[in-house]
Structures are given as C-alpha cells and as structure tokens.
C-alpha cells in the first residue's frame, strides 16, 4: 500500500510541478507578485497531495519569531520536503542553489523565474562572492535569503559540516539569522521513493538579532546556529 500511495503521489507531484512551472514562466513578464502567487499555490497543492495521498501532515511552530525585516534563514536539510514547503513557510525569498538546476527543462526555468543565487560549486571562492554580493542585494530589496548550511541532505540524527557562508552574509548585510529545524527525513527519506505517513514538524527558533550577529565572532556564531538547530532537530526526531 505504501508503494502504491508513493507512486500516486510522485506522479501527482510531477504533474503539478509541470503545470505550475509553466504558469510561473508565463507570469514572469508581469510582476514578481504574480510569480510568487503561483509558487505558493504549487507548494500548497503538493503539501495537500502529500497529506491526502501519503498521510503526511505538517505542523509549523515558531512563526512568532519572524522579524519585520528581511533576514537570513539557516535551515536543516533532510529531504526534498522542506525545499518544496519553503514558499509556504517563509515570506518571499531567494535561495542558494547549484546553477546546473537551471538546465532542467521547464522546472529549472521556473526556478530561474522566481530568482535564485545560482552558484558554481566547483569554484568555492567565486561561489562565496556570489552569495555575499547577490545575497546583500536581495536583502536590501526586502527578500529573505534561505540557505542550507550543511550544503546537502543529511539523514535524521546526523549532522553535516556547517558552512559559514550564511553567517558571513548575515554579518555583511547586518541582518538577523532565523534558524529552522524540522524532522522531514523521518517520513520523507532523503533518497527514498517511499513516503511514510506521519507528521512533519517545522520549528523556527528564536531570531538571532542583527546586532548580535554583527558583534559575535563568525566561528562562535556558526557554532551557536549549529547547536540550536541540531538540538531542536533531536527533539523533533523523537516526537
């Protein structure tokens, strides 16, 4: 039964992604608000399909920690679920992704249409320069920036190496950092086809305010972010 449900859901997700990618591309010449409308509706549609077909529920905690101004969101990365859910979770944002994703027909073009900081991973120095320059420009426009500091999906209960680029961006832009923890990998495996029924909890942790971000040494700030996210993820994985 799980296999049948997962197959139906994946087919549904592919169809929804194709339809909404086209709608996003068609709305690009008009305004970003139009693009974002379809992006959010795509997210809501897939989350609804995940709930009704696979029995995956979503609970969001900690939205009271959202600042009034744009900030950098540093999130745990366990599966594709949180990337799909992000337009529903946070205000209009850009995220850092590998440039090769733009080359995927239709879907990759839609990623381009909603804006992103597309980096060349092979050139770490140039990638960091892109993140800092383009990230600050988007933040000045009021767009949030979402980053996964581990850089890749990590199985529940494990921690990857946290990269400092998100912390550096927040310090350069003088904005706050909003850590985000979740347990998506417990029901939506990072490399698994089968989606298990269950509840995914996303928890936004207390904002690290801009003045603290600026005044704290980079290594200490990165360690604080890692400790808070991993501690919260450990709590969520057990629920």
- How much is the pLDDT for 83? 93
- How much is the pLDDT for 114? 92
Confidence of residue 1 (pLDDT cuts 50, 70, 90): confident
Q: Which domains does the chain have, with CATH numbers?
A: 56-237 (3.40.1130.10)
pLDDT digits (tens, 9 = 90+) for 202-220: 999 999 999 999 999 999 9
Determine the average pLDDT of the residues in 61-73.
Answer: 97
User: Distance between alpha carbon 110 and the CA centroid of its chain, in Å?
Assistant: 16
Best mean pLDDT range from 91-100, 120-129, 215-224: 215-224
What does pLDDT average to over the chain? 94
CA dihedral 25, 30, 32, 33 (to 10 degrees): -110
- How much is the pLDDT for 27? 96
Is residue 122's pLDDT more than 80?
no
Share of the chain above pLDDT 90, in %: 86
Confidence of residue 237 (pLDDT cuts 50, 70, 90): confident
- How much is the pLDDT for 64? 97
177 close to 142: Cβ distance less than 8 angstroms: no
The pTM assigned to this predicted structure is 0.94
- How much is the pLDDT for 84? 95
Measured between alpha carbons, how far apart are the two ends of the chain, in Å?
A: 24
Q: Which helix (H) or strand (E) holds 176?
A: none
Determine the average pLDDT of the residues in 44-57.
Answer: 97
CB atoms within 10 A of CB 113: 19
């Amino acid at each position: 039964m799980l296999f049948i449900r997962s197959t139906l859901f994946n087919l549904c997700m592919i169809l929804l992604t194709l339809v909404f990618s086209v709608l996003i591309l068609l709305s690009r010449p008009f305004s970003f608000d139009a693009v974002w409308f379809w992006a959010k509706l795509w997210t809501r549609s897939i989350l609804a399909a995940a709930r009704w077909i696979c029995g995956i529920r979503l609970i969001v905690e900690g939205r009271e920690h959202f600042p009034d101004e744009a900030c950098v969101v540093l999130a745990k990365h366990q599966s594709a679920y949180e990337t799909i859910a992000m337009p529903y979770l946070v205000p209009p944002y850009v995220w850092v992704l590998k440039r090769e994703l733009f080359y995927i027909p239709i879907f990759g073009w839609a990623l381009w249409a909603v804006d992103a900081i597309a980096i060349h991973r092979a050139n770490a120095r140039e990638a960091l320069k892109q993140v800092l320059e383009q990230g600050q420009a988007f933040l000045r426009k009021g767009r949030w920036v979402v980053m996964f500091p581990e850089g890749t999906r990590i199985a529940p209960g494990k921690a990857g190496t946290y990269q400092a680029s998100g912390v550096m961006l927040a310090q350069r832009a003088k904005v706050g950092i909003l850590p985000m923890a979740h347990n998506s990998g417990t029901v939506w495996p990072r490399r698994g086809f089968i989606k298990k029924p269950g509840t995914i909890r996303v928890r936004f942790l207390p904002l690290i305010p801009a003045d603290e971000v600026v005044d704290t040494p980079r290594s200490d700030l990165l360690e604080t972010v890692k400790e808070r996210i991993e501690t919260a993820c450990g709590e969520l994985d057990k629920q």
